[in-house]
Amino acid sequence: MKILVTGGAGFIGGNFVHYMLREHPEDEILCVDALTYAGNMETLAPVMDNPHFKFIKADIADRETIYAIFEQEKPEVIVNFAAESHVDRSIENPAIFLQTNVMGTQVLLDACRKYGIQRYHQVSTDEVYGDLPLDRPDLFFTEETPIHTSSPYSASKASADLLVQAYHRTFGVPVTISRCSNNYGPYHFPEKLIPLMIANVLNDKPLPVYGDGKNVRDWLYVEDHCSAIDLIIRNGRVGEVYNVGGHNEKTNLEVVQLIIATLGKGEIQFVRDRAGHDRRYAIDPTKIHNELGWLPKTKFEDGIQKTIQWYLDNKPWWENIISGEYQNYYERMYGNR
Ligand code: NAD
Ligand code: DAU
């Protein structure tokens, strides 16, 4: 199979490239990535010499270039990870989220129509369902939960999902969608909660917890997300949505306290809350379990230890990031918070 992976120089896309080359050495992986602030060729360095891997720098919203890539490379399966992915940045500047997440998705879908493919898979998020109340632990997101978004980021992802479903119904493009909960693991950009806290502890900086720290996220080790997508593109039913999550809900405070306990230091600082901050995410993964036999393999207690160890062992990867333009971002986001 020739698989086009967009956004493969980012966190989950990068892990997916590594996962697929390891688990399916017979497949060919073509990675297309615009290398925005979140894309990092260091993440792909270990596979650049693999004869089954090829990288092309391109913007998914650049129609001419994307059409040329489809024409020359003839991918059979598309897995679209490429996106602006950070909620806080979407509050600061929504426009680029619409451009990449919505218009970029449309260009890819048009290319699929024009050149023909076996499967287009959209990597979506549980954030399209909005949030759940903290006092109703009996409630979970199912695939039938109405779309109800909170941030420009989640609104852009929901728009893309609707477009993907419309291209299936109207034009017959063979699509699938996965909606996953919060991922964590190696190569996670240090603007996100877990790597930001690890980096701050290691640099003796305060740990900025938004609001009261009681917001709940449903954490999944990134390789378990990769295995779910792998199963969906091979065995998932065309036109279907699959929720992906491992019943691993934690408050932000619990996560940060675990990082402090593991590293033996760190000082929490409560800061102004995120605007529109979603309270709780929780996935019901019954459908993907029953239909495709998917189950997560990594328990949070093990995954978080592996992740912290990875950041200890790979300091140059994240120190390069936080020594550059990231410092301006950090000052804008946390300076007067
Ligand atoms: P990320 O920000 O780490 O990586 C995004 C990648 O996309 C980067 O390599 C970036 O350079 C690339 N990119 C951005 N704009 C592009 C464009 N116009 N053209 C081509 N490439 C472009 O994001 P991530 O956390 O790896 O998330 C990947 C996907 O998974 C996103 O679609 C996100 O919505 C979804 N998702 C993320 C999570 C999570 O917890 N991180 C959970 C569920 C779903
Ligand atoms: O649920 C899936 C989503 O998970 C993905 O679609 C997004 O791409 C991904 O970024 C993530 O979104 P969140 O907003 O949940 O992740 P983030 O790491 O930004 O924040 C996790 C929680 O931690 C959230 O409640 C906000 C809080 N937080 C975050 C940061 C960066 C803090 O308290 N302090 C911080 O400095």
Q: What is the pLDDT of residues 231-278, one digit of tens each?
A: 999 999 999 999 999 999 999 999 999 999 999 999 999 999 999 999
In angstroms, the CA 318 to CA 202 distance is 11
In angstroms, the CA 329 to CA 264 distance is 27
Q: Which of 120, 129, 153, 281 is catalytic?
A: 153
Report residues whose beta carbon is within 6 angstroms of any ligand 1 atom: 6-7, 9-13, 33-36, 38-39, 59-61, 81-85, 100, 104, 123, 125, 157, 180, 182-183, 189
Q: Mean pLDDT across the chain, nearest whole number? A: 98
- What does the block give as tokens for 330? 């950090």
pLDDT one-digit tens code per residue, 239-251: 999 999 999 999 9
Q: Is 302 a catalytic residue?
A: no
Q: Is 127 a catalytic residue?
A: yes
Percentage of residues of the chain with pLDDT beyond 70: 100
Q: Is the CB of 210 under 6 A from ligand 2?
A: yes
Q: Is the CB of 307 under 6 A from ligand 2?
A: no
What was the pLDDT predicted at 254? 98
What was the pLDDT predicted at 144? 98
Are 5 and 31 within 8 A, CB to CB? yes
With the most atoms of ligand 1 within 8 angstroms of its CB, the residue from 5, 36, 59 to mutate is: 36
What was the pLDDT predicted at 337? 85
Q: Nearest C-alpha to atom 8 of ligand 2 is from which residue?
A: 85
What was the pLDDT predicted at 91? 97
Q: Is the CB of 209 under 6 A from ligand 2?
A: yes
What was the pLDDT predicted at 239? 98
Where does residue 164 rank: exposed (0-12), middle (13-18), buried (19+ CB within 10 A)? buried
Say which ligand is closest to the CA of 191: 2
Query: Above 90 in pLDDT, residue 223?
Result: yes
Whole-structure pTM value: 0.98
Calculate how far, in angstroms, residue 197's C-alpha sits from the geometric centre of ligand 2.
Answer: 12
74 pLDDT band (50/70/90 cuts)? very high
pLDDT one-digit tens code per residue, 119-168: 999 999 999 999 999 999 999 999 999 999 999 999 999 999 999 999 99
325 pLDDT band (50/70/90 cuts)? confident
pLDDT one-digit tens code per residue, 19-33: 999 999 999 999 999
- Closest by CA to 322, choosing from 305, 334, 309, 307, is 334
41 pLDDT band (50/70/90 cuts)? very high
Q: Is 311 a catalytic residue?
A: no
Are 120 and 175 within 8 A, CB to CB? yes
Q: Nearest C-alpha to atom 29 of ligand 1 is from which residue?
A: 81
Query: Above 90 in pLDDT, residue 286?
Result: yes
What was the pLDDT predicted at 257? 98
Query: Above 90 in pLDDT, residue 336?
Result: no
Counting from 1 in the atom list of ligand 1, the atom nearest the Cα of 157 is 34
What was the pLDDT predicted at 324? 85
